[in-house]
A and B are shown apart, each in its own frame.
Chain A
């Protein structure tokens, strides 16, 4: 239901879906390397390629045009002129944030852009940070007086994925070393042939 709302109220901007096509090409290259190459190191490299392409898939979904990295810029910090004002940051200061958000909500209800689940304020640019509309130094990423940030949610998930991927790669390479020491080769078909031969000899004896 929300997808329909999003596409019906505003036209889909953005640059087409070419990035997904390229990512899928990379994925299939990695898959082919894993399936077809007999050499185990090439299989591990293919697995790496596959993993990086999956990560790129998610990260490219999180990109917002005219957005910047999800690190708050100077102009969007609530008290950027009074540094380290620790005692000022109590809950009463949050009114500024909440107020601008409700302003945004009022503005967007005029567009009929209601969200049914929990009242999220989905305005035209949901990634724009509503604070500090007096952008004293408007950057490239200012849209309608607010800064647009890319979605940080995929980035967080993909960080974990990369680290798990390197752990898996290290383990796979350790296995390759052991296989080499045992079978004297790292080509999969030769390993298969040796295994068949060993099994036949076991069956006969």
Chain B
């Protein structure tokens, strides 16, 4: 495994640990802080998966606004979870069953990072990659993906310029 994929795996595991810890926390303040850390870790994961715009937005929104709002709600409501922390069986059963079914379904999905995956064969992605600079002269492809009438290759090459 390459260095990048090792780091990715480490981050994923950390994320899972933080998620379980949020469930176990009785102090809501600690839970809110952990959710801020969760946002930070997921933003780092997005950077590792080459989604820099998504990472930027997630960091700004999750670790910024969301945490501040939850802290204010904590101030306006209570600070601690008052009920005991026993594991409820039925929801756990639902979650485990649902997870098992999903895991079974994802065995057939394209491998992580596979360049031959079906999603990469789509005409739209092809068009974005190859045409976005010509249409707008903007190197970042994401605002260009907001170009409204990319009458794509599916409809024939209708020229818009």
Contact = CB atoms under 8 A, between A and B. Distances in A.
A31 B95 contact: yes
19 contacts: A6-B121, A22-B13, A23-B12, A28-B95, A28-B98, A35-B95, A42-B22, A56-B49, A59-B51, A59-B54, A61-B109, A64-B120, A67-B115, A68-B50, A70-B50, A91-B161, A129-B130, A149-B141, A155-B51
Given A12-B110, A63-B49, A186-B78, 9 more contacts: A6-B121, A14-B112, A45-B22, A55-B42, A61-B109, A64-B50, A124-B115, A173-B69, A180-B77
Contacts, number: 299
Interface residues of A, number: 101
Majority-rule SS of A interface residues: helix
A142 interface: no
B70 A45 contact: yes
Contact of A21 (B65, B88, B103): B103
Interface in A8-48: 9-10, 12-33, 35-39, 41-42, 44-46, 48
Interface of A: 2-3, 6-7, 9-10, 12-33, 35-39, 41-42, 44-46, 48-49, 52, 55-56, 59-65, 67-72, 77-78, 89, 91, 94, 97, 101, 115, 117-122, 124-127, 129-130, 148-156, 158-159, 162-163, 165-166, 169-170, 173, 176-177, 180, 185-187, 189
